[in-house]
Every structure is written in C-alpha cells, then in structure tokens.
Amino acid sequence: MDFEQNDNISQPPEPPHRPQDQPYQQPPAYPYNQNAQAKTTKGKSGWRVFWAIVLILSVLANIVLFLTVIGLATLFAVGQDAVLTEEVIREGPRAAKIAVVRLEGMIDGKQTQEVLRQLKMAREDNSVKGIILRVNSPGGTISGSDEIYHQITDKTDKPVVAFMQGLAASGGYYTSVACDKIVAEPTVITGSIGVIAGWFVIKDLLEQKLGVEPVIVKSGEKKDWPSSFRKATEQEIQYLQEKLIDPAYNRFVEIVAEGRKELLAEEEIRELADGSIYGAEEALQLKLIDKVGYLDDAIEQAKSLAGIKEAQVVQYRRPFSFSDFLQSRNESLVKIDRALLYELGRPQVLYLWSGH
C-alpha cells in the first residue's frame, strides 16, 4: 500500500544554523555552588557545638545537684545537735543581751541535754549579761532536774531569773530555785515538793492472759526488790521508802532551803513539802516565789540584776532536722523487747507532779 506523505505532520525544528568554521560546544553543566555547601557544613558544626555545650552544662548541673543533696542529707542526718539559732524576741542593743533558755515538757535525758546546750551557749556569749530560765514543766527524773540545778548554781556566773509559765511543779520548781529570782505567771501551778515512785506489776497479764510464768534466780533476798512479776510486800515498800524515797525527798527539801534561805527556814519548807500544789498568789504568800508577773517583768528583773538598762532579748532554737523526723517515726512504733520490759518493770523515782 502506498502512503502519501502528509505535509501537515510537524517536523522537529532544525538546530540553529552554525557556521561551518565554528566548532560545536557542549552546553555548560549546572554550576557547582560552593557557598551553599559551606553554609550547610557550618550549620551542622554549629549545632554540634551547641548540643555539646548543653551536654556539658547538664553534666555539671547534675554534679552540683548531687553534691548539694549529699550535703543536705549529711547535715540532716547529723541532726544539727550542736547548732542553735538565735531568735530575737525583744529588740535592743546586741552588745547587751538577755538570753531566754526554755525548759518545756517532762524533764528526761533529751530535755536535760537540750537545756544544758542552751545554758552553755548563753554562758559562752560575752554579750549575754543575764539569763531567763523559762519553765513550763511538771518535772521528771531526779538526775535530770539535779543536773540542770547544778549547771545553774555552780557553772553559771551570770544572773539567772526563773520565769514560771503554765506549770512549774516538782522538778520544774526544783530547777527554778537554782535561780536568783523567781517570777510566775498569775495562772501558774507550782509546788508539788516531793518524790514519787511507781512501777508496773504484769504478773496476771503474763500468767493468766499469755500463759507465761517467769522464773527468777537471785543471789539475795532483796536483789529483785521491787519486782514486776509479783505484788510488792509491806517489807519491800518500806525498803524502797528508806533507800529511794527518803533520800530524794531530803535532797529536794535541802535544795529549796538553800534557794529560799533568806525567806524560809527548813522547818517551814518541810511543812509545805507534802506534795501540795499552789497557785501563783498562794506561792507568793508562802514565799516560794518572788513576784507574780509576765515575761516582761522577768526581763526587767534580769536587767536589774545584770546592772543594765537596755538589752536585746533572744531565745535559742534548734532547727528541725531529718533525724528528728526519723526519731519521731521510730518513737511512734511500740517495740516490745527486753529493754522496754525493763523500763516498765523497774521503779521510776521522780520529781514529778503526776496528777493521777
């Protein structure tokens, strides 16, 4: 079959006319952009430096945080026992200060050490010219009460004023008579000059409830007097009276007689030392205290004894520590062990107003 050529079919354009004497030149390739490549490389390097700096700073921050945590943990674990902070409660010149030492709660080993620490700080501060013993305590152990008394009378050469607040009975009064003057709030309860002893008898609990029968082997008749495993006999009670109660009672009377020797004779004190408690006005009439008033009256009394007219009044506090928290947690857990049984069984001879 013959095909006729179609003139209407489009033909590709002919290349542009090139002179015969001009050689053919290859079209130039896409030009290489050196500036763009340099910018890309520079950008990547900048980010690497930035993240390296961030990493280094992060490591340093973590090291500082770790050391800080270790330091705080160490400080809290120690408990800051030797650290006391000074709190200003009355403004005045710092060169002449009156230090308030707080005796609060039952006088036990811990409370005694706290008071002694405050007294020591006040004694060693040359700017402290006088001390106020702020007492709010029902008393407590004989040894603790006597140790505070000894530290005030024999170790402290600065005037000391007792300020009774709320309750200052038995051992609380024992420590107060160590001071040069006694000021009591109008609502205070004081007195209770005397000794008390007590212990638990757990015989029926062990034998009837738990089915436990204790066996005691001793070298002498009085070795286990008194015993928590049986009721005390009249002979045992009389023995404890002579060995424990009477000596502690006589010591209490002698201490009060020494502290109030300008106002009361020992015979008068023995008449008052039957364990009775007294309000502030009655105690003043009986010459057991020197003045009924408030803290400001005690401050004025301390300044007068120190021979100064103006003073800054401060009190000491121990910052709360992590060890205090742990100790409070431990104390809230009752653990029955041999030490607890011993504490429950042994007689507690105390300068304490118990009220029960």
Active-site annotation, residues: 170, 223
Answer for the pair 170, 349: CB distance below 8 angstroms, yes or no. Answer: no
Answer for the pair 176, 135: CB distance below 8 angstroms, yes or no. Answer: yes
Residue type for position 261: K
DSSP 9-31: SPPPPPPPP--TTSPP-PPPPPP
Answer for the pair 302, 293: CB distance below 8 angstroms, yes or no. Answer: no
Residues 6+ apart with CB under 8 A from 257: 264, 265, 266, 269
Q: What are phi and psi of 141, to 5 degrees?
A: -70, 150
Nearest to 276 by CA among 267, 265, 286, 266: 286
Identify the burial level of 129 via C-beta atoms within 10 angstroms of its C-beta, where 0-12 means exposed, 13-18 middle and 19 or more buried: buried
